[in-house]
A and B are shown apart, each in its own frame.
Chain A
Amino acid sequence: MLDHILSILIFFPAFAGVMGFMINKESMRAYGTAVATIEFALSLWLWFSFDNNVSGMQFMEHMALVPSFGINYILGVDGISLFIIILAAFFTMIGIASLTDTKNVKNMIITLLFLQMTMIGVFVALDAIVFYVFWELSLVPMLYIIGAWGGPLRIYASVKFFLYTFTGSLVMLVGMLFMAYFFYQATGVWSFAILDWYRLILPESFQLWLFAAFFVGFAIKVPMFPFHTWLPYAHGQAPTIGSVILAAILLKMGTYAFIRFSLPLFPDASVFFMYPIAILAIIMIIYTAMVAYAQKDIKQVVAYSSVSHMGVIILGTFALNVEGITGSIFLMIAHGVVSGALFLLVGVIYDRRHTKLMSEFGGLAHVMPRYATIFGLMLMASVGMPLTINFVGEFLSLLGFYQQSHILTLLAGIAIVVGAIYMLTAFKKIFFGELTNEANKNLPDVSKRELLALIPLSIITVWLGIYPKPVLDPINNSVEAVVQLMHNKATSHEAKMRIPNVSGVVISKTTAKEAH
């Protein structure tokens, strides 16, 4: 069974989703929770059987799909994707378990199960076309979730979300076809397998164009400034569960794809574009932080802060060294946990008051102390307090980028600190002060079902903030391999210099030991 665990992880939720049509409406939530729990257990089993010392792909599966055109069903998992998969399974589970009263709950749960299939698929696919299949397919359930259960502008928001990302990925598809063609020219065989592509060294001019094509697809997904305009609408209109999954998992597809595709395939282009992208990322951090400060709607604040932190992830990724990339992957998980939790928290208050305007609240800490505590914890994590999960990721990302540019890192660091202002202000507006609004006087504190989702998230936030090693180690291993690959493949002198030679370091360490 372990040989096919990745296929099982992908298709079990989809199969269960199809079977779900037969389930009675009343039992649907229990069914969904059960399926998602099994899936989460499977993903934990994957972690348990995962060999931390191997840097390459594990649990590989290979099946011919269209061999004459080089499309094969290839799956595999390494330290980079492992934890995002677990995160996806985890969030689907708590998402379904904490689902509040929704109309058509059956459709919602079936859609979520299909969405889970596409999410896992994206992170385990090792064939560009298979990757693209899941990447595109993930748009459809999300379109439906936003469009059918969202707020008043839901149709506009969902169609904008769909078209924006769809357009970007089509450009990326052309890039993939070019990449396959170059591979064909070099070897005489068609192949879309990513591991095959890794072996191909392209001239820098080609790299630049292909990097740009892939960049359009990924940057829209992340979303990077200036392609981020779909996200506030999507978050603003989506139901809580939609926002949670979107922020926690779907956005990570973009940053993950940068590490899986752009960096190892185009190392020279990555170095070439490092500064422009870093500047975009810093603009993104500062600009969205400022926009977040101006919001009246608490959900929009969380949405913009989520975009802001995605900027740090990008910055870490384009540090192009082990610390930066490891940090950015860790931050992906951290951001998933924290912003997912924040959206859940916003959902809690929205369920009670059916408004998200901060002016409606104030002094909530008096009536909802537990809620205020968890919110406070997540907020601290979000602004990157030490001993919380975000801190580890942000610190490593910035540390990585510090080696490339001191000034830009300083700017980004200041921006993050300044970014704390809007979160704290929002917290102040909602929780502190006198309880003035009559409607808030008798709000019940968080219920058991809500705690079911929030407590595990709080535990993870603190646990991985204090002791990140079990997660960092496998990530670090795989990232070292990626950076080494980039260093070996880089052709220009500048790229060789910017991307460190990892094995050199390791060798020097061992020689030092021997000498000792």
Chain B
Amino acid sequence: MLSPVNVSLESLNLITLAPMLIPVIGALLILVIDIIKGGLDKSLYVVLSILFLALDFGALLESAGAFSKNGIMLGVFDVMLIDGLAIISQFIIVVTSMLFIPLALTHKRFHEFSYPEFFALFLFMIAGFQFMVASDNLILIFVGLETASLALYTLIAMHNRDKSFEAAIKYFTMGALAAGFYSFGSMVFYALTGSIEINQIAAVLQANNYADIGFVLVAVVMMLASFGFKLSIVPFHTWTPDVYEGSSAAMAGYMSIVPKIAAFVVAMRLFEFLIHANIVWLEVVLYVFVVVTMTAANIWALVQSDVKRMLAYSSISHAGFVMAAILIGTTQSNSALFLYWILFSFTNLGSFSMLWISRQKELPGYQKTDHSFEKFSGMIQTSPMAAIVMGLFMLSLAGLPPFALFWGKIYMISSAVTSGYTLLALIMALNSAIAGYYYIKLIVYMFMKDPITSNVDNNGQLYVANATTALKTIIGFAIIGTVFAFVALDSLLEFVTAFVYNSGY
């Protein structure tokens, strides 16, 4: 005989669910609208998505206010965990999504945006990511992760080219493998500790003083592999360039930012206590992962002939760079992770958007891929503004001051310096130098080579073929975020540090 469960509604603290539920409601509404009257223009769905994301943003502001007043909040049977990490990462997710979704308003018609399902799936995906970061329950994290990933696979496939299907399938297979690893790792943790809450797991392991270190390591290996896939850490990165190449440039830019910050937050929750428990093995493995990811990805990026693939490898390298924060594991490094990712999101989204506005439907003979380097030859002479904007994004990615990523870089390297990782700091700095080469390579093509004649004839139209006011506005935001980052830096840094510190990381 089951006894009735008595739970007061207040103890559930349902308000913690509000930020996730808003996009879900939005997605359902979009589906309902489509049932009532089909064939509506994409602009309606874009604006609706933005509105719901704005509401989501408002709800996040609310929780941020509550967090800075009352500290960490738990809700819904203590499954939800609203702490500083959850709030900052949700801010990143929602703001990036708001900057991403207007990129659907292209000049040329693209298949995927004509379906309202695209926007519904998009909002479901955001809800999934939000659940993922706002919990320390391994099962809820898993559910969030899978919701988001399955939606994302579909979004990629909807681009409707041969390469997109390949990309989606590739991503799906790798994602399924990662999910398998994840569930296996969680299972071992559960078997060891009888709990699926990360803080409980930490407490139990602490209490028995890591008696079953062998099993802990098995679980950690599984988890590392799983997050390795999601964060595209070398050697689990192989899907990344192909998937980025197959999906639209805008989607690739989005994928290099949002799924990764969600995975970083979970990795931070999970690995931080293990690092602090002085598990030497984990430290060594993470160290190797960080260095190899940074360096190898940079070297691969050097030899790419397509800008999008180059940016794909560059984003792997950036992920490796940021992974160092988890290895270092101090408040400064964790704040640096968020700071870096906020600045990175502006710059990277901007550079992928620049590719997006130059997207052609048919490729001329000299161009083997959508965004080969040759395409950008002599861009300064045919469309100088676009060339300068793209050049700025490249310089920012290379970490040239005073553009956005430089500040993230110095704060990250500084956190390595302050915690005694001198060699790591040097490796990080020198990797920026290697990376400088391939970013400069695009600048060399744009500014120093002569244009290909057909581009001169059409007066640089090629580079803005896909542009509309909406897209230009988004790029404008990205430029402001990239160039004037130093203005907002101080308040950003204080905000991030306070939130990270108050969450106990």
Bound together: yes
**Contacts of B429 on A, CB cut-off 8 Å?**
170-171, 173-174
Interface status of B395 (Cβ within 8 A of chain A)? yes
Query: Whole-angstrom distance between the alpha carbons of A158 and B444 in the complex?
Result: 9
Across the interface, which residues of B come within 8 angstroms of A178, CB to CB? 417, 422
CB of B404, distance to nearest CB on chain A (Å): 13
B243 to chain A, nearest CB (A): 30
Q: Which of A64, A139, A144 contacts B447 (CB 8 A)?
A: A144
Question: Roughly how many angstroms separate A136 CA and B399 CA in the complex, as a whole number?
Answer: 10
A147 & B447 in contact (Cβ 8 Å cutoff): yes
Contact A181 to B437, CB < 8 A, known contacts A69-B493, A167-B430, A174-B429: no
Residues of chain B within 8 A of A487, CB atoms compared: none
A174's contact among B425, B448, B493, by CB below 8 Å, is which?
Answer: B425
For B411, give its contact among A69, A155, A181 (CB under 8 Å): A69
Tell me the residues in window 475-502 of chain B with beta carbons closer than 8 Å to chain A beta carbons: 486, 489-490, 493-494, 497
Count A-side interface residues using an 8 Å CB cutoff: 36
Q: Is A166 an interface residue (CB 8 A)?
A: yes
Chain B nearest Cβ from A162, distance in angstroms = 6
User: Taking chain A's interface residues, is the majority helix, strand, or loop, or is none over half, making it mixed?
Assistant: helix
Which residue of chain A has the shortest Cβ distance to B490 in the bound complex? A66
Is there contact, CB below 8 Å, between A136 and B425?
no
- Residues in chain A near residue B426, CB distance under 8 A: 171, 174
Given A136-B401, A137-B401, A181-B418, verify A162-B490 contact (CB < 8 Å): no
Whether B436 pairs with A177 at a CB distance below 8 angstroms is no
Q: Within the assembled complex, what's the spacing in Å between the Cα atoms of A104 and B451?
A: 14
Docked Cα-Cα span, A184 to B490, in Å, equals: 18
Nearest CB in chain A to that of B441: its residue? A159
In the complex, per-residue mask of B434-457: 1 if CB is within 8 Å of any chain A CB, else 0 = 001100110110011100000000
Chain B: interface size category? 35 or more
In the bound complex, CA of A167 to CA of B298 (Å): 15
Chain A residues whose CB sits within 8 angstroms of the CB of B490 once the complex forms = 64-69
Give A220 Cβ to nearest chain B Cβ, in Å. 11
**How many Å from the CB of B406 to the closest CB on chain A?**
8
Number of A-B contacts (CB under 8 A): 91
Instruction: Check if A140 sits within 8 Å of B418, measured CB to CB.
Output: no
Residues on A with C-beta less than 8 A from B497 are 68
Q: Is B448 in contact with A133, judged by CB distance below 8 angstroms?
A: no
A162 with B413: CB separation less than 8 A: no
* A174 contacts across to B, CB distance below 8 A: 413, 417, 425-426, 429
- Cβ of A163 < 8 Å from any Cβ of B? yes
Q: Which B residues are in CB contact (< 8 Å) with A158? A: 444, 448
A143 at the interface (CB under 8 A from B): yes
From residue 150 to 201 of chain A, which have CB atoms closer than 8 A to chain B?
154-155, 158-159, 162-163, 166-167, 170-171, 173-174, 177-178, 180-181, 184
Q: How does the 8 Å CB contact mask read for A244-277 relative to B, with 1 for contact and 0 for none?
A: 0000000000000000000000000000000000
- Contact of A143 (CB < 8 Å), options: B402, B410, B440, B486: B440
**Set of chain B residues within 8 Å of A440, measured between Cβ atoms:** none
Q: Which one of A64, A147, A171, A173 lies within 8 Å of B410 (CB-CB)?
A: A173
B300: min CB distance to chain A, Å = 18
* Contact yes or no, A180 B486, CB < 8 A: no
Docked Cα-Cα span, A492 to B486, in Å, equals: 41
A66 touching B448, Cβ below 8 Å: no
Partner of B417, one of A107, A166, A181: A181
Query: Which A residues lie within 8 Å of B425 (CB)?
Result: 174, 177
Task: Decide: A162 near B402, CB < 8 A? Known: A64-B490, A171-B426, A177-B413.
Answer: no
* Residues of B that sit less than 8 Å from A by CB: 380-381, 395, 400-402, 406-407, 410-411, 413-414, 417-418, 422, 425-426, 429-430, 432-433, 436-437, 440-441, 443-444, 447-449, 486, 489-490, 493-494, 497
10 contacts between A and B (CB under 8 A): A137-B400, A137-B402, A140-B395, A147-B448, A155-B448, A166-B433, A171-B429, A174-B425, A178-B417, A184-B418
Q: Give the interface of A toward B (CB within 8 A).
A: 64-69, 104, 107, 129, 132-133, 136-137, 139-140, 143-144, 147-148, 154-155, 158-159, 162-163, 166-167, 170-171, 173-174, 177-178, 180-181, 184
**10 additional contacts, CB 8 Å, given A66-B407, A162-B440, A177-B425?**
A69-B414, A133-B401, A136-B400, A136-B401, A144-B448, A155-B448, A174-B417, A177-B413, A181-B417, A181-B418
